[in-house]
Amino acid sequence: MEVLSADELERIHLASLEILEEIGIAFLLPEALQILRDAGADVDDATQMVRMDRGLVEESLAHAPSQYVLHARNPDHDLTFGANHINFGTVGSAPNVSDLERGRRPGNFADCVDLVKLAQCLNAVHFCGGYPVEPVDLPPETRHLDALHAFATLTDKAFHAYSLGRTRILDGIEIARITRGISKEQLLEQPSLFTIVNSSSPLRIDGPMLEGVIEMARHNQIVVITPFTLSGAMAPATIAGALALQNAEALAGIAFAQIVNPGAPCMYGGFTSNVDMKSGAPAFGTPEYTRAALAGGQLARRYGLPYRSSNANAANVVDAQAAYESEMSLWGAVMGHANLVLHGAGWMEGGLTASFEKMVLDAELLQMMAEFLNPIEVNEDSLALDAIREVGPGGHFFGAKHTLARYETAFYAPLLSDWSNFESWQESGARTATERAHTLYKAMLAEYQQPVLEAARREELEAFVSKRKEEGGAIAT
Amino acid sequence: MEVLSADELERIHLASLEILEEIGIAFLLPEALQILRDAGADVDDATQMVRMDRGLVEESLAHAPSQYVLHARNPDHDLTFGANHINFGTVGSAPNVSDLERGRRPGNFADCVDLVKLAQCLNAVHFCGGYPVEPVDLPPETRHLDALHAFATLTDKAFHAYSLGRTRILDGIEIARITRGISKEQLLEQPSLFTIVNSSSPLRIDGPMLEGVIEMARHNQIVVITPFTLSGAMAPATIAGALALQNAEALAGIAFAQIVNPGAPCMYGGFTSNVDMKSGAPAFGTPEYTRAALAGGQLARRYGLPYRSSNANAANVVDAQAAYESEMSLWGAVMGHANLVLHGAGWMEGGLTASFEKMVLDAELLQMMAEFLNPIEVNEDSLALDAIREVGPGGHFFGAKHTLARYETAFYAPLLSDWSNFESWQESGARTATERAHTLYKAMLAEYQQPVLEAARREELEAFVSKRKEEGGAIAT
């Protein structure tokens, strides 16, 4: 679905090129400035502003692949990014965590572990997108080692590492390699890790993030450049202006990654939303957000790049608002042909809280969306003229042969939705969807089974993490 | 958006014609059988089955207009049905009513009146779609007179009358005419009332409904034919089969209306959903429902007919499920290019309850959808390159001239969504969206102002209703 005409798309593209050529983007890392200067960009060392002409941008982008695979340690969970493939991930990076029983509390490792386990249990969740909640009870120097160890051992789905400086991202790359049991050469052929790089909008990319881009690109791992262009705050108070800025920043980051390693797998991330003009509070799943998500998809397709979107909302409690804002976000992602949907399950409060109940609720939304995308089967059998003839006027299809033959699989079976009548629902406790999600997540965690990691890989992983912890972790950065 | 290829659409069309030609539809009214026989249909008086060949069906459909206006007594509320016009109505026909304070209770006139007043208050609600809740405390013979009087006096938006026999629908037509202050001749030129006719799926249209079709078509008022084809119950357990049946029944009803009065305004209604195969319970806002809503739009467009869809859900409480099922239904309606969205605000429990809080919640969903459908403005001013240059790297747009100039109108301002941060939200009572909706609907009712009805029309209306009540109302039927 398209919300921009071809002309409008081109105007946004051209505005972005004008930003890149005339205003420039600040690359806050001397090493990056040198790389860009060597490639022919106009670099101002004093301001760290880099101006790239359209020739350099377009030539760099031309190397970026339009489709690639992110390998998981269980090949059943390998994910293809590109074309019409859509993949949903967990919430990432929330500072707080909540559930109905224990309320809202600061992020911690025990909850982080439980959320990763839940991600492993939920079929609708295809990958782990960053720490579902920040384990702030772990020391910052070694936090990434514990968390990556958790991803590697508690789930056999693909995962993410943060571009918070060179040391951490190299640890992430090595842990992904060990977990998959492949050589360094194989890793260069098989992307096995992804990183989200947010530009510091407007017009900046931070140093630690740029170190991440450099190392991930050099190792041929997946770099997702996502400007966080909040219209009215870090971006102009018009969707077109915010998109022009988003596009300039995304192209700058992707062009940089391509300059570092032409052909490295990159993704175009869109995360344009708007603030509440009265309070300055960020809002998500708004009509503006949905239109921007669709427009972002059109821009990504214009460059032949896979597209990343999100399942966002600004609600403080898992209620109707959380659900309808998430639906608005998800429809934007689905109709925008997003290939990677970050924060697909569990995001609340504009990203400030990861919720156990929301994770289950979102899994239902994601499964419904996946089922919606299945085509309607139209053939002689499904058209059912014989059944219509057999049942006749005023009859009932429930006992028809045609119905009995598809009794098990005819329709989507929900995870969370309760379709019982009011009286039955009342007798069984009159519980809201959120209350039911609470029971469900606990039952899932109780039944969680850790996916076996081959002994050799496990030993290598433990040895690596121990060694790196002894070395002090990321103290060098 | 299209979920059926041109070939698949044609196969469903052809399957429907086969149903109409070979199986037939039961028209449960001798008068209708005579009309159809005179038009050349094959009629079996014993079974009341009518077989129409494709020539008769297609010739009849050719007369149906693809666009027309439903006139309200306030011309600002006139509605166009056809092309990309989308109009949202209230919940209709719920036997129960509920709100947070008083709980769920049987329908009654006082609540019906309050819901009509609320419909008048909400800008997102464009018309009244049947009694929002059935006033079961009023006698059945005169209930329609009291309810139509309420529509005519409490709101200046367009309304609906039930096709429950000739007497009631003629009363509805007369009340619509009086309320608009027009002559009988003008009424024939200006549709001022609409009726929803549900076929008694499978393969039947009831007598009282057919009397409604006959009188509405003769008076050139709008007839919406909506088969209620619940896949697995009243329709085959495949979406394609349910659509074939829906299409046959809709075409039969519309062809009949066109035979009665060629050129009368008709609408194609789609309401295909599915049951829970385990319990037989009806489900709404399912992935199957959404796909069927999109397919229904494609079918309606194939015949050049305006399209009716719904905002449905099966939740028993105004919670996250109510919101996400409604969103799934609404996206089906919007992407299916529905022109009339019945049950747009207030529907719960598969239609068994009208909820005051859901009405406010849905108004938010409808407004968001309407805002989403506005195009993104792309021009030099909205692309905001000057503002991006002015703000520069790491700056903030909140104080920029470009932002200040659009401070008031930049973004959609929500009715119900709360975007405050967790602490502020907690301080202000930690209320869910449903609790906030409760406060909002009460405030709206407290501020409700009755739209003035011109004295002459009001007197004529009172006189008509009194006379008809003295006559006993609908006792003749």
- At A1 the pLDDT is 85
Tell me the ipTM for this assembly.
Answer: 0.97
Q: What Rg do the C-alpha atoms of chain B give, in angstroms? A: 23
What is d(CA A151, CA A159) in angstroms, rounded to the nearest whole number? 7
3-state secondary structure of A273: strand
Q: Give the pLDDT means over successive 10-residue stretches in chain A (477 positions).
A: 96 98 98 98 98 98 98 98 97 98 98 98 97 97 98 98 98 98 98 98 98 98 98 97 98 98 98 94 97 98 98 98 98 98 98 98 98 97 97 95 92 97 97 98 98 98 98 81
- The one-digit pLDDT tens for each residue of chain B (477 residues) are 899 999 999 999 999 999 999 999 999 999 999 999 999 999 999 999 999 999 999 999 999 999 999 999 999 999 999 999 999 999 999 999 999 999 999 999 999 999 999 999 999 999 999 999 999 999 999 999 999 999 999 999 999 999 999 999 999 999 999 999 999 999 999 999 999 999 999 999 999 999 999 999 999 999 999 999 999 999 999 999 999 999 999 999 999 999 999 999 999 999 999 999 989 999 999 999 999 999 999 999 999 999 999 999 999 999 999 999 999 999 999 999 999 999 999 999 999 999 999 999 999 999 999 999 999 999 999 999 999 999 999 999 999 999 999 988 899 999 999 999 999 999 999 999 999 999 999 999 999 999 999 999 999 999 999 999 999 999 854
Dihedrals phi, psi of A459, to nearest 5 degrees? -65, -45
- At A476 the pLDDT is 55
* Closest CA of chain B from A424, distance in Å: 10
Token couple for A76: 């059943």
CB atoms A283 and B15 under 8 Å: no
Cis omega (within 30 of 0) on the bond before B306? no
Token couple for B338: 């529905």
Nearest by CB: B3 against A8, A376, A396: A376
- At B70 the pLDDT is 98
CB atoms A393 and B204 under 8 Å: yes
CB atoms B410 and A331 under 8 Å: no
Instruction: With CA atoms as reference, report the closest residue to B254 among B293, B319, B199.
Output: B199
The residue type at B364: E
What is d(CA B233, CA A387) in angstroms, rounded to the nearest whole number? 12
* Closest CA of chain A from B271, distance in Å: 16
Please identify which residue in the block is written with the tokens 């969206």.
Answer: B433
CB contacts of B227 in chain A (<8 Å) are none
- At B477 the pLDDT is 47
What is d(CA B74, CA B83) in angstroms, rounded to the nearest whole number? 23
Q: Tell whether the torsion through CA atoms of A125, A130, A134 and A139 is positive or negative.
A: positive
Cα atoms in the 13 Å half-sphere on the side-chain side of A382: 13
* Closest CA of chain B from A465, distance in Å: 36
User: Please, which residues have CB within 8 angstroms of residue B304's CB and are 6 or more apart in sequence?
Assistant: B64, B66
What is d(CA A429, CA A434) in angstroms, rounded to the nearest whole number? 13
- At B476 the pLDDT is 55
Please identify which residue in the block is written with the tokens 């098990």.
Answer: A408
Contact status, residue A416 vs residue B314, Cβ threshold 8 Å: no
Beta partners for residue B49, in sequence order: B26, B44
CB contacts of A418 in chain B (<8 Å) are 315-316, 321
The H or E element containing residue B274 is: strand B273-275
